[in-house]
Structure 1
């Protein structure tokens, strides 16, 4: 389980095709990483397992299968690229975002971006797959590339986000240009409610 509060960014230093997937190496910016082999880390919001960790250099590896590559934007990662990182939450920590599983529901595309205030507040409109639109509500939560964000407006297949400078600085959102593919995870509570209602009224 994750919260959507990005801890740090990482840089892709190696990408090696292997066993119907890709093994990535990421250099992190954690000051005191406590990663171990087998730990779960959200990479742009997709839950992956640490396969190796080198404390010297803060470098860890993870393997992603062809299926994960197909369903997420991890297939578009390249050496030198930046990713959002969040370790799985631990008991007793502050819960600053919302419940995030690290199970990407689909990918969206940045439709537009513009600065709306002189202090670099950015407005984004994101195109969403038709299958996910029913889970989006004004002032509801959504995870975009692992970042817990609040939906400002929903219009047809587009939803609006407003990002403050702190979010832009701490995440890879600064690189979200028009056409950029981003991972989306809708609020799991919406999916539970939908499933409950379908079961209730199907009887």
Structure 2
């Protein structure tokens, strides 16, 4: 589990294609690194497993299967790009964002952006799959590329976000522009509520 509070950014050093997936090498800088083989790390909001690491965790590899490539923006990532990183939450972690599973529900695309306050605040309109629309509510939570954010407004097939300077500084959101593809995870509570309210067969 994660909180959606991005710890740090990483840079992709290498991408290796395999017969049914992709292997990624990332370099980053952690505060108090404790990376181990098999650890779960949120990469752009997608839970991935550390398969190899070096330099006390400042470099690590993860493998994405063909299904992950289908559901996320990982198939579009290139060497040199920055990704958002968060280690899995500890029982003592402050839950400053919201409960995030790291299981991507779909992708969205930036439709428009508007800079305000001299560019220190940016407003985005994001398209989303119509199946996801019913889970996205104004003032509700959503995870976008691993960032826990609050939905400002929502309409059929799209929703609005406002990102503050701190978020833009600590994440890869400063590189988002119209056409950028983003990983989306809907609020876990909404997903389970729908399941509970389904008529029993």
| TM-score of the superposed pair, with normalisation by structure 1 | 0.96
**Structure 1, unaligned runs of 5 or more:** none
Alignment match, 1:132: 132
Displacement of 1:7 in angstroms is 0.2
Residue of structure 2 equivalent to 1:118: 118
How many pairs align?
A: 201
The structural deviation recorded for 1:161 is: 0.3
Counterpart-to-counterpart distance in 2, 1:188 and 1:124: 23
- Which 4+ stretches in 1 moved above 3 angstroms? none
Whether 1:159 and 2:143 are equivalent positions in the alignment is no
> What's the secondary structure of 2:100's corresponding residue?
coil
Task: Give the match's secondary structure for 1:195.
Answer: helix
- Which residue of the partner structure matches residue 178 of structure 1? 178
196 and 161 in structure 1: CA distance in 2 versus 1, 3 angstrom threshold: same
Distance 2:191 2:57 in 1: 40
Describe how 1:179-194 pairs up with structure 2 within 5 A.
179-194=179-194
Where does 1:81-100 land on structure 2 (aligned, <5 Å)?
A: 81-100=81-100
For 2:102 and 2:154, locate their aligned partners in 1 and report how far apart those are by CA, in whole Å: 23
3-state DSSP of counterpart to 2:117? coil
Specify the alignment match of 1:79 in structure 2.
79
* Deviation per residue, 1:118-140 (Å, 9 max, x gap): 36110000001011000011100
Supply the distance in 1 between the matched residues of 2:56 and 2:99 (Cα, whole angstroms): 32
Counterpart CA distance in 2 for 1:67 and 1:128 is 19
Query: Structure 2 regions of 5+ residues with no counterpart?
Result: none
What's 1:67 paired with? 67
Counterpart for residue 48 of structure 2: 48
